[in-house]
A and B are shown apart, each in its own frame.
Chain A
Amino acid sequence: MKEVKCDCGHVNPFGTKICEKCGMLLGNDKENKLIDMRYEGSARRSQTYQKTFIDKIWNFFSSVKVGVTLIVLALVASAIGTILPQEMYIPSTATPAEHYELEYGWVGKLYYELGFHNLYSSWWYLIIIGMLGISLLIASIDRFFPLYRSLKNQGVTRQDGFMKRQRIYGVTKLEDQDINLEEVKSRLKRQRYHIREENGHLLAEKGRFSRWGPYVNHIGLIIFLIGALLRSVPGMYIDKVLWLREGERKEIPGTNGEYYLQNNEFTLDVYDKGNEEDEQYSAAIDKTGTIVKTYQSDVTLYQRKGETIPGEKVDLEKLKDFKIKVNEPLKQDHYALYQVDYKLDELSTMAFNLMNKKTEEKFGSLKVDLNDPQKKYDLGKGYSVDLISYFPDFEFDEKGEPRTISKIPNNPAFIFKMHTPDKPEGEVSFVAIKKNVEPLGENTYKMAFNGVETQDVTALTVRKDLTLWILFSGGIIFMVGVVQGSYWNHRRIWIKRKDDEILIAGHTNKNWHGIKRDIKQALESTSLCEPTDQLEEEKSSTKGEALNG
């Protein structure tokens, strides 16, 4: 494609609408009273090439209309996802298909059937976000490079037609007297304008860098989206839960056996009216009832020493003691351990006496560790008890056979075989909470319940997220860009000295109030006429003519 040579001699890229250097109109909109200054009338690929398939794709994604449509789609879709709770927020025991209908009636059923219960990971939601990302990238490239080129090549002397078609424009007729522009110049300088001069003409410019704001913030957003995408790369992200009983030590899942954690104690504190430091909360406590003050796990972190040989005991080295609380995770390398859940008073041991049913005479006692029961308990003097079967979380199945639902000792049951000097072959007894069954006939002895011990259990989330720094840099870059673009304005004032008149024109990408104030201050008490806002004069402000960019 051939380039466009302007009358001023400057060579512009094909498709340029306003000469980069002198501002001469090269496009067709010569009839309009004001120039469309968006992107300086530069040659954007999307406006110039519209033939091939690739052009069409490029033009689609670079369009602001498409971009805004995508934003609105994402907005509406996100909002729909909050009408009912997402699947991750319904009770984990519930079956989604039933839960939604049960809780929310036919609305819930429809919501579930449309897949809205998992909206944010649905293919169509991800496609909207993905397209938004592509749009951010293409729209930025399409605009940034031509705009940058255009602003870099801009000349000081502008064509009269360009000046006249600026929104802010004014003419001062020189009647014999000459006006010294030095005062105006120094005032503009004081307002931090950067001044360029050419043959007595002036270009005062400030805040050009704010024009890059949008592109900087778009880069930030793209980096953020890439970070979010990287989450699915193996090794970047770990999300596990570790349940630890008091006194228990376990490998931290997701660390490949590198770290071990021991739970020394779990504490749950509540606000107490009687306590002096919580006194001010008494009214609230009376109204709401119990309010939790702290969830805390006192833990010890261990690291494995050397390589582990399968079957051998691991050698551990203590690293540190730590109190994990909500808002105060334990951090080690890239791992963080968070307090997320707990269970108070889980059964830990259960004690029994071996007893003669008739005489109630006791022949020794035993204590079963519910998380690590022994096979055999020797009570001495020829008395011993075998633990034949253990059901930590017992129930009867359909056939009436005992079974366990889980490994957690919520409802422990035991089958004991009691050996005594007079019954050396043993008697079998099935013992559960408030239950004592003798499946193989009448026994002489029984296992009499002799108390329980409980302990608290803490639940910690193990998290590793190597994408965080990417997301964070994306966020910071976005903030820099958005501040750059919002809190500064790109203002330009052109002053052109002709034989019998002085032309003044002004343009800003936003905040017209501000540039008018600047011009007013610069021209104060000079004989120059203050330029007027041509849009305001026309009273066409409500038609919303496109003048920004």
Chain B
Amino acid sequence: MAEVSSNFLYAAFLLYLVATFLFGGAIKDKRGAEEKKQNKWAKLGIFTTILGFAAQIGYFITRWIAAGHAPVSNLFEFTTFFGMMLVGAFILIYFLYKTPALGLFALPIALLIIAYASMFPTEIAPLIPALQSDWLHIHVTTAAAGQSILAISFIAAIIYLVKFVDQTQSSKRTFWLEFIMFTLVSAIAFVIITSTFSAMDYKANFDWVDKHGAEVKQEFNLPALVGPNEGKLIEPDRFEPMASMPPLINAKKLNTVIWSIGMGLVLYGLIRLIARKRVAALIKPIVKNVNLNLLDEISYRSVLIGFPIFTLGALIFAMIWAQVAWTRFWGWDPKEVWALVTWLFYAAFLHLRMSKGWQGEKSAWLAVIGFAIMIFNLIFVNLVIAGLHSYA
């Protein structure tokens, strides 16, 4: 069953990839750019997307059966589910507005999220006592659904910014837009290097001394550019670290970050070198036919649809479960706090938009920050700030 499940996931991945190209075709065709008039590329694109979504639901159900519990209990499962909900949210918004351009950006982001997810351990793990509750699937699925609809607002915002920002001269706008592009490229770089070294089965073990003075072992799965405090390589043929970190810093995580940013820079540099223009400028022609007002509306509408669902899942259901499992509905656990931070951010977004008239570009930048907060919560809070929710 577990194998059937992962085959479904591969199928979904491939179908999303195909759908991305179909949407690419849809947007080239001028007829597809106008709202409400779908050309046949767009129809094929959304059909393939739905097929992929169905395959991923197949993955979800079969894995649920195999595991005996909803597959949302570790970082791999949750992140994959988030990717799936993102596609679901895209399908929903697509049927409201019929904009193929959205698919051209939403699907690659979903692909990247799913690829990122599979860099984490994928074994089916049993549930620890605190997770053995129906609230697991109620809370996690609702929270992920809310987040993914909010993420659509980011995708609409990115398209908006790519089209809107003037690329003829460099400015703060072009800088930050490139920063977003660079971040996406680094995420791709992370996936590439992690899967490459994992395919090579690269392992470098260190004996090192932690901050309490104890001698411990640590396994690196990437060549250690930076090594742990007083680290000694056990395998002699492995790459010798160029620097050793103080014991307060987790050298393994820092090493991964250095690799991702470094490879990101290389990849990004190559693109710039070949294209001889900014990445955003490179993709700008793709979105020349989209209607800015419509994108602004989609972005805002996604926040309006997503915010109540996020509140319900990530705060209300979360509080009910916390009261049952941890004896208190709120305990200032980092993950709880970051759900609150996300919620406060979107509350501020809605107030600025409704009363201060922050529409168009300002609203788009806000949507980008909102997504950054959610990704921070997904990656950084889980992996770096340890807490009750810590998966890794």
With A79-B337, A280-B67 already in contact, the answer to whether A295 and B357 are too (CB < 8 A) is: no
The reply on A30 being an interface residue by CB < 8 A is: no
Question: Contact between A327 and B132 (Cβ–Cβ < 8 Å)?
Answer: yes
The closest CB in chain A to the CB of B321 belongs to A327
With A38-B355, A536-B293, A544-B357 already in contact, the answer to whether A78 and B308 are too (CB < 8 A) is: no
Question: Contact between B324 and A280 (Cβ–Cβ < 8 Å)?
Answer: no
Q: How far is the CA of A285 from the CA of B123 in the complex (A)?
A: 9
The closest CB in chain A to the CB of B380 belongs to A82
The reply on B325 being an interface residue by CB < 8 A is: yes
Question: Contact between A293 and B126 (Cβ–Cβ < 8 Å)?
Answer: yes
Q: How far is the CA of A85 from the CA of B384 in the complex (A)?
A: 12
User: What residues of chain A lie closer than 8 Å to B217, measured between beta carbons?
Assistant: none
Question: Contact between A71 and B348 (Cβ–Cβ < 8 Å)?
Answer: yes
Question: Contact between B300 and A510 (Cβ–Cβ < 8 Å)?
Answer: yes
- Give A542 Cβ to nearest chain B Cβ, in Å: 5
Within residues 304 to 359 of chain B, which ones have a CB less than 8 A from any CB in chain A? Answer: 304-305, 307-308, 311-312, 315-316, 319, 323-329, 331-334, 337-338, 340-341, 344-345, 347-348, 351-359
The reply on A527 being an interface residue by CB < 8 A is: no
Question: Contact between B327 and A544 (Cβ–Cβ < 8 Å)?
Answer: no
- Give A183 Cβ to nearest chain B Cβ, in Å: 23
Q: How far is the CA of A305 from the CA of B118 in the complex (A)?
A: 60
User: What residues of chain B lie closer than 8 Å to A67, measured between beta carbons?
Assistant: 351
The closest CB in chain B to the CB of A102 belongs to B211
With A326-B132, A471-B329, A542-B164 already in contact, the answer to whether A280 and B360 are too (CB < 8 A) is: no
User: What residues of chain B lie closer than 8 Å to A148, measured between beta carbons?
Assistant: none
User: What residues of chain B lie closer than 8 Å to A103, measured between beta carbons?
Assistant: 211, 248
Within residues 258 to 317 of chain B, which ones have a CB less than 8 A from any CB in chain A? Answer: 292-294, 296-297, 300-301, 304-305, 307-308, 311-312, 315-316
The reply on B125 being an interface residue by CB < 8 A is: yes
The reply on A179 being an interface residue by CB < 8 A is: no
Which of B211, B338, B348, B356 touches A79 (beta carbons < 8 Å)? Answer: B338
The reply on A433 being an interface residue by CB < 8 A is: no
The closest CB in chain A to the CB of B345 belongs to A75
Q: How far is the CA of A74 from the CA of B342 in the complex (A)?
A: 11
Q: How far is the CA of A105 from the CA of B385 in the complex (A)?
A: 16
Given known contacts A103-B248, A479-B308, A543-B360, what 11 new A-B pairs fall within 8 Å (CB)?
Answer: A68-B351, A78-B340, A280-B68, A283-B124, A284-B125, A287-B121, A293-B129, A327-B129, A340-B327, A463-B328, A510-B300
Question: Contact between A280 and B292 (Cβ–Cβ < 8 Å)?
Answer: no
User: What residues of chain B lie closer than 8 Å to A547, measured between beta carbons?
Assistant: 357
The reply on A153 being an interface residue by CB < 8 A is: no
The closest CB in chain B to the CB of A481 belongs to B308
The closest CB in chain A to the CB of B352 belongs to A68
The reply on B138 being an interface residue by CB < 8 A is: no
The closest CB in chain A to the CB of B298 belongs to A513
The reply on B381 being an interface residue by CB < 8 A is: yes
Q: How far is the CA of A479 from the CA of B340 in the complex (A)?
A: 15
Question: Contact between A463 and B357 (Cβ–Cβ < 8 Å)?
Answer: no
Question: Contact between A79 and B308 (Cβ–Cβ < 8 Å)?
Answer: no
The reply on A521 being an interface residue by CB < 8 A is: no
Question: Contact between A487 and B332 (Cβ–Cβ < 8 Å)?
Answer: no
Q: How far is the CA of A532 from the CA of B356 in the complex (A)?
A: 24
Residues of chain A having any CB pair with chain B under 8 Å:
38, 64-65, 67-68, 71-72, 74-75, 78-79, 81-83, 85-86, 88-89, 103-105, 120, 239, 271, 278, 280-281, 283-285, 287-288, 291-295, 325-327, 329, 336, 338-340, 461, 463, 468, 471, 475, 478-479, 482-483, 486-487, 510-513, 536, 541-549
User: What residues of chain B lie closer than 8 Å to A326, measured between beta carbons?
Assistant: 129-130, 132, 325
With A75-B348, A548-B357, A549-B354 already in contact, the answer to whether A281 and B126 are too (CB < 8 A) is: yes
User: What residues of chain A lie closer than 8 Å to B345, measured between beta carbons?
Assistant: 75
Which of B68, B126, B319 touches A291 (beta carbons < 8 Å)? Answer: B126
**Interface band, chain B:** 35 or more
Question: Contact between A475 and B293 (Cβ–Cβ < 8 Å)?
Answer: no
Question: Contact between A82 and B337 (Cβ–Cβ < 8 Å)?
Answer: yes
**Max chain B Cβ within 10 angstroms of own Cβ: one of A284, A295, A340, A549:** A284
- Nearest 6 interchain pairs by C-beta: A546-B357, A326-B129, A284-B125, A64-B355, A283-B123, A82-B334
Which of A72, A105, A463, A542 touches B360 (beta carbons < 8 Å)? Answer: A542
Q: How far is the CA of A527 from the CA of B353 in the complex (A)?
A: 36
User: What residues of chain B lie closer than 8 Å to A72, measured between beta carbons?
Assistant: 344, 348
**Max chain A Cβ within 10 angstroms of own Cβ: one of B130, B300, B352, B357:** B357
The closest CB in chain A to the CB of B334 belongs to A82
Question: Contact between A542 and B129 (Cβ–Cβ < 8 Å)?
Answer: no
Which of B164, B292, B305, B360 touches A544 (beta carbons < 8 Å)? Answer: B360
Q: How far is the CA of A542 from the CA of B365 in the complex (A)?
A: 13
User: What residues of chain B lie closer than 8 Å to A549, measured between beta carbons?
Assistant: 354-355
Q: How far is the CA of A418 from the CA of B311 in the complex (A)?
A: 70
- Give A131 Cβ to nearest chain B Cβ, in Å: 14
The reply on B54 being an interface residue by CB < 8 A is: no
The closest CB in chain A to the CB of B125 belongs to A284
User: What residues of chain B lie closer than 8 Å to A479, measured between beta carbons?
Assistant: 308, 311-312, 316
The reply on B171 being an interface residue by CB < 8 A is: no
Which of A71, A288, A543 touches B347 (beta carbons < 8 Å)? Answer: A71
User: What residues of chain A lie closer than 8 Å to B164, measured between beta carbons?
Assistant: 542
- Give A216 Cβ to nearest chain B Cβ, in Å: 12
Q: How far is the CA of A547 from the CA of B360 in the complex (A)?
A: 13
Which of B304, B351, B356 touches A546 (beta carbons < 8 Å)? Answer: B356
The reply on B2 being an interface residue by CB < 8 A is: yes
Question: Contact between B344 and A74 (Cβ–Cβ < 8 Å)?
Answer: yes
Question: Contact between B129 and A325 (Cβ–Cβ < 8 Å)?
Answer: yes
Q: How far is the CA of A291 from the CA of B127 in the complex (A)?
A: 8
Q: What are 27 inter-chain pairs, A to B, with CB distance below 8 A?
A: A67-B351, A75-B345, A78-B337, A85-B386, A88-B331, A103-B248, A239-B327, A271-B126, A280-B66, A281-B126, A284-B126, A287-B123, A326-B129, A329-B327, A463-B327, A468-B323, A482-B307, A486-B307, A510-B354, A511-B297, A511-B301, A512-B297, A513-B297, A536-B293, A544-B359, A544-B362, A548-B357
Question: Contact between A541 and B128 (Cβ–Cβ < 8 Å)?
Answer: no
- Give A463 Cβ to nearest chain B Cβ, in Å: 5
- Give B377 Cβ to nearest chain A Cβ, in Å: 10
